Structure 1
């Protein structure tokens, strides 16, 4: 299959070559909703690093660049239950590097040093330093300050943006687009739409760039977990084009290809919604698949609502990209008690 040549780019493998994450048909969920046939791309099974998830794909390219630059410390940022922070720290451990985390307390009072979920894993994996900053802090400046402190100690830091979402990190999802197109070809599967969570934008942007590079006109519907539709679509489009340029594609990705729905954010990032609770429970009880409460739970809530509203026909094949994050469930157990 012709497409983007990624072989020229440095890559640190945390996944086993030749073993794509599976695409599974969700018959029981599809029957429960009475709409299109739903499939899932199981990127929650990218288990090369602690707990797995979509950031593993991004870190393969980011850490390769860090090592090429001679870095011995990774610095990144995220929310207090950030899957990205967990996996960046795990990559650092794998490489014998140190790691510092800047956690943004997006909901006042939400940081608990004794919490379970990813917060516990930061400590178990041995982060060199964890600093918690208020919502709205200048995270770039905070990471630069950490990098300066590392330099003052005679070491070299590599700064990774939140979610690993720059052109280097999003390249991981250009690779994913290639992978899923090949799988669909081998399965004889027509994919009519892809639905994914859209947060720091790297996953959706990389998918769009990869599909564009393969001339695959599959709609990608991003379900925003934080930002307004206008803000998120602008972010995704800008990053998709930077990523396309990074991997050597020519021509701009059409603006109309970028769709981010903001109907399912609820009161705010990481704050539970009834739709999210229903979605997590439904998928667990029909397919024995665990979603997370911040990203995939809200993205699945969006897919369920779109099905109920008739967005798809009964003959459509819709692919849900499961980006992982289930460790965060254990910090939200109270939300699901008795569900």
Structure 2
């Protein structure tokens, strides 16, 4: 099946902008930064999951689905957007969310989840999420419903295909501007869908730039293995002969910080620098760590003067508000009080 043959439910505002970031560039050195604004895809405060959900929802409707089921951590961007697009398509939605807290505060993505009206189930661990998701899907099928299950992050070959298309969109923008970047930085995790789709898309186009996945969890080898496998599954789904090898996928795991979803000083510095130079809002889970990786490469001299690099802004701003208390102490020292 070719990319154009995949069922698609149009949702996103495309193409997303490709913006210059001159003040951020000047703050980091004599190279050029362009920001691909996939935080502006439009639905439910935007983000990279909207692109994937166009194809996942299209596939669900093509299979006659009546209810969408998915899972993720309590501040999942994917779950927030899935609930929104299910409402938009008139489908019921079930979310299975994990939280260390028995009654997590309805802030950030969780607040928006409740707003969109899905059925929400709370568990403690990722393993419990997967088990309960399977159980709930089976129960609904036994009732005569038609469940469509989306795994973590929408990272299936159908979902990853959206970022093959995004690679084509981005390269067209670059050709129109006659810009030749050397690399693209993005947040990468074990769900791997965005990274896999982009890696496959750029491979098809002759590798016009190198993709640098900045790990936000686990280690580089684990993420690389997942990205390669998913990219090749996506290629098979699309009927493509090309395949990726581990050497085709670069993952840098030096900016994970204390844990998944937990920022450190480098994440906060990146978020602050983006905000105070370009007015960009990054999150402490994904994009803050991805920009910290870009900054780290720049300071280590790994980005040469005159290079052009792309930063993929994948969204996730609601998670910033969910961590307001934890983040407050990073900024308190700089507060001033009028006399």
Q: Do the aligned residues in 1 keep the contact of 2:24 with 2:274 (CA within 8 Å)? A: yes
The counterpart of 2:9, out of the listed 8, 12, 19, is: 12
Question: 1:253 maps to which residue?
Answer: 244
Q: 1:289-304 residue pairs with structure 2 within 5 A? A: 289-304=280-295
Matched, 1:241 2:232: yes
Q: CA deviation at 1:167?
A: 0.4
Question: TM-score normalized by structure 1?
Answer: 0.93
Question: 1:40 maps to which residue?
Answer: 35
Structure 1 residues 37 and 229 mapped into 2: Cα distance closer, same or farther (>3 Å)?
Answer: same
Q: CA deviation at 1:134?
A: 2.2
User: Within 1, Cα distance between the matches of 2:321 and 2:126?
Assistant: 26
Q: CA deviation at 1:138?
A: 4.9
Q: Any runs of at least 4 consecutive aligned residues in structure 1 with deviations exceeding 3 A, and if so which? A: none
Q: CA deviation at 1:144?
A: 1.1
Q: CA deviation at 1:261?
A: 1.1
Structure 1 residues 178 and 333 mapped into 2: Cα distance closer, same or farther (>3 Å)?
Answer: same
Q: Give CA-to-partner distance per residue, 1:63-101, whole Å, 9 cap, x none.
A: 111011111111111111000000000110001111111
Matched, 1:264 2:258: no
Q: Mean Cα displacement is larger for which, 193-202 or 149-158?
A: 149-158
User: Within 2, Cα distance between the matches of 1:160 and 1:237?
Assistant: 20
The counterpart of 2:95, out of the listed 82, 101, 104, is: 101
Q: Which runs of 5+ in 1 are unaligned?
A: none
Question: 1:158 maps to which residue?
Answer: 148
Question: 2:55 maps to which residue?
Answer: 61
Matched, 1:28 2:19: no
Question: 1:127 maps to which residue?
Answer: 118
Q: CA deviation at 1:35?
A: 4.2
User: Within 2, Cα distance between the matches of 1:216 and 1:261?
Assistant: 19
User: Within 2, Cα distance between the matches of 1:319 and 1:28?
Assistant: 15
Question: 1:215 maps to which residue?
Answer: 206
Q: Do the aligned residues in 2 keep the contact of 1:35 with 1:312 (CA within 8 Å)? A: no
Q: CA deviation at 1:153?
A: 3.0
CA RMSD of aligned residues (A): 1.5
Question: 2:278 maps to which residue?
Answer: 287
Q: Mean Cα displacement is larger for which, 295-304 or 210-219?
A: 210-219
Q: Do the aligned residues in 2 keep the contact of 1:35 with 1:307 (CA within 8 Å)? A: no
Q: CA deviation at 1:136?
A: 4.2
User: Within 1, Cα distance between the matches of 2:103 and 2:226?
Assistant: 30
Q: Give CA-to-partner distance per residue, 1:47-73, whole Å, 9 cap, x none.
A: 0x2111000000000011101111111
User: Within 2, Cα distance between the matches of 1:80 and 1:154?
Assistant: 29
Question: TM-score normalized by structure 2?
Answer: 0.93
Q: Do the aligned residues in 1 keep the contact of 2:56 with 2:154 (CA within 8 Å)? A: yes
Q: CA deviation at 1:230?
A: 0.9
Structure 1 residues 167 and 25 mapped into 2: Cα distance closer, same or farther (>3 Å)?
Answer: same
SS in 2 for 1:256: helix
SS in 2 for 1:244: helix
Q: Do the aligned residues in 2 keep the contact of 1:33 with 1:304 (CA within 8 Å)? A: yes
Q: Give CA-to-partner distance per residue, 1:104-143, whole Å, 9 cap, x none.
A: 23xx33x644331101011111012x12222241543321
Q: Do the aligned residues in 1 keep the contact of 2:72 with 2:126 (CA within 8 Å)? A: no
